[in-house]
Amino acid sequence: MLQINEIKIRKDLSEAEVFEIALKKAHVKKEDVLEWYIAKKSIDARKKEDVHYTYSIAIDVKDEKKYRRLERIKKLDIPTFSSPVTLPSRPVIVGCGPAGLFAALTLVQNGAKPIIIEQGQPVEERQKAIEMFQQTGKLNPASNVQFGEGGAGTFSDGKLTTGIHSPFCKKVLEEFVHFGAPKQILYLSKPHIGTDNLIRILQNMREYLITNGATFLFNTKVIDFEIHNQQITSLHTICNGMEKMIDTKYVILAIGHSSRDTFEKLYEKGITMEAKNFSVGVRIEHLQNWINKAQYGTITKLKLPPAEYKLAYHSTSGRSCYTFCMCPGGTVMPSSSDPHTIVTNGMSYFLRDGKNANSALLVNVTPDDFKENSPLSGIYFQKELEEKAFLLGGSNYFAPIQRVGDFLKNQKSISIGEVKPTYQPGVTLSNLNEILPSFVSDTLKEGLIYFDTKLQGFAHPDGILTGLETRSSSPVKILRDEKLISNVSGIYPCGEGAGYAGGIMSAAVDGIKCAISLLKNH
């Protein structure tokens, strides 16, 4: 395939019309084209007086020599196995997030039949548990925004942007489309699926995996690991009070960033791990139309999607403040997994048609900030903050909130302005400065003021800060070698929880890599 780049479109056109403009730009005769598709589509809003789309179109032509001046698309090779792989024992995947699911897909596509263990519920039941928490404040510690089929990313924005460059990224997108995602994720520069689509996609993936020999054990928790001569031999699980042992030589640990008791058990069993950097902060909400105006201006006539942003600030103190997991037209979600804690996250449906925009507003934390020198110290740092937020919110799973203007002045909010908080089951007007470490609150204030110079209205006094966001990434890294194996043979630390990913896409890619490594090593 060849590619025609830098096609600038300044009005709303059909794909066929964009194709015609691309051919004209590249001086390609339509009769020479055998096949074509959109390779990339992005919004260029750097100049508010000239907001436009930029396209790249891929074409297959009868004679490529005729159009040598055009860029040729490189074919990315993905490792495959010539025949189904037979393993001496069924591989076990612990965790059913993107890392675990794409590891499972890779295994079944090469003849293996994995067992997938998930302490949470299937996604349709999990959705009901989350809605119950929002309505009543009754938390299910085993099945919530953090745990359950699909992982923490299911009840987010379904964002598929990533900073990694891997041939497996395309495979992940194609698999999502195969299981029901909108085809536009294949070419949008900032693709997302949305929670509403993810729920249906996950059900389709599960059906495919079961049809091809995989076994799902939902509501089942791994409570111990049997290790002999530095080789994994079996797992102890519990389901509805009944304990069961599963023998296996292969375990892909895709446990997610919130599996605190599992981290503790792994550390107890001698699995090598270390504390790592992560971030903590708050969720910030604005009116979506404020963000649209700040990003797109008011001149363009294009029917543009709800605007996004990504901002970063580096303080003279050495700290960084940045936005993360920005959810246009979304809501702030109750994301606790431990009792008597408050954790927040953001979520959007595919249309992103809610009134508010929200994003994590975070400050980096390093192991030097922890009270103890232990690989698990970051977990205890997180939990202490979450427990303080629970108390500040009223000890009833209401989240503490504060207007941006009041936060900057270090005074408790006594009223809400233009921006209405979306967090459920409820909110409590507070002063978040009381529970945030000073290095976090000071850096957040500097960041807010700086971001307002880059995105007009970011520090609007009526913006809402909701506390706290503590689970942006894992506080632990489980070490692995060049074959992706831990210090215990047969255990493959994988994905975001193990410290090797930072979102749906990178976690899914790491799941593929771990599964391929398992098959190759065998």
pTM: 0.95
Question: Does 229 score more than 70 pLDDT?
Answer: yes
CATH architecture of 92-274+474-521: 3-Layer(bba) Sandwich (3.50)
* Percent of the chain's residues with pLDDT above 90: 93
- Span 2-72: which CATH code? 3.30.70.2700
Q: Which amino acid is at 202?
A: L
What secondary structure, in 3-state letters, does 155-170 show? HCCCECCCCCCCCHHH
Closest listed residue to residue 323, CA positions, set 183, 465, 202, 213: 465
Q: Give the residues across from 278 on adjacent strands.
A: 365
Strands 221-228 and 312-314: unpaired
Band (84; pLDDT cuts 50, 70, 90)? confident
Confidence (pLDDT) at 167: 86
pLDDT digits (tens, 9 = 90+) for 22-31: 999 999 999 9
Confidence (pLDDT) at 473: 94
> Which structure tokens are listed for 470?
């503590």
Inter-CA distances, 428 with 3, 145, 393, 483, Å: 54, 21, 5, 49
Note whether 358 and 333 are within 8 A (CB): no
DSSP labels for 64-85? GGGGTTSEEPPPPP----SS--
| Owner of token pair 């580096």 | 314
DSSP 3-state assignment of 283?
A: strand
Confidence (pLDDT) at 333: 98
Cis-peptide into 34, omega within 30 deg: no
Q: Which residues contact 74 (CB under 8 A, 6 or more apart)?
A: none
For the chain, what are the domain ranges?
A: 2-72, 92-274+474-521, 277-469
- Return the beta strands (E) in 340-405 as ranges: 344-347, 356-365, 399-403
pLDDT digits (tens, 9 = 90+) for 33-65: 999 999 999 999 999 999 999 999 999 999 999
> The dihedral of CA 435, 436, 439, 444: what is its sign?
negative
Confidence (pLDDT) at 82: 65
> Which structure tokens are listed for 47?
């100049």
pLDDT digits (tens, 9 = 90+) for 179-228: 999 999 999 999 999 999 999 999 999 999 999 999 999 999 999 999 99
Query: What is the C-alpha to C-alpha distance for residues 319 and 215, in angstroms, rounded to an integer?
Result: 45
Closest listed residue to residue 257, CA positions, set 477, 472, 497: 497
| For range 75-88, the mean pLDDT | 74
Confidence (pLDDT) at 36: 96
| For range 345-354, the mean pLDDT | 96
Question: Does 304 score more than 90 pLDDT?
Answer: yes
Residue 369 CB neighbours (<10 A): 15
Query: What is the C-alpha to C-alpha distance for residues 220 and 232, in angstroms, rounded to an integer?
Result: 19
Question: Does 471 score more than 80 pLDDT?
Answer: yes
Inter-CA distances, 144 with 128, 130, 258, 325, Å: 9, 6, 11, 18
pLDDT digits (tens, 9 = 90+) for 114-144: 999 999 999 999 999 999 999 999 999 999 9
Q: Give the residues across from 333 on adjacent strands.
A: 345
Cβ burial 84-115 (10 Å sphere, 16+ → b, else e): eeebeebbbbbbbbbbbbbbbbbbbbbebbbb
Average pLDDT, the chain: 96
Band (79; pLDDT cuts 50, 70, 90)? low
Query: What is the C-alpha to C-alpha distance for residues 71 and 50, in angstroms, rounded to an integer?
Result: 27
> Which secondary-structure segment (H or E) carries 275?
strand 273-275
Question: Does 73 score more than 80 pLDDT?
Answer: yes
Q: Out of 164-178, 232-246, 382-396, 411-425, which region has the weakest mean confidence (pLDDT)?
A: 164-178
Terminal Cα-to-Cα distance of the chain (whole angstroms): 36
Confidence (pLDDT) at 127: 96
Band (522; pLDDT cuts 50, 70, 90)? confident
Where is pLDDT greater, at 314 or 82? 314
Rg (CA), the chain: 24
> Which secondary-structure segment (H or E) carries 303?
none
Cβ burial 215-239 (10 Å sphere, 16+ → b, else e): ebbbbbbbeebebeeeebebbebee
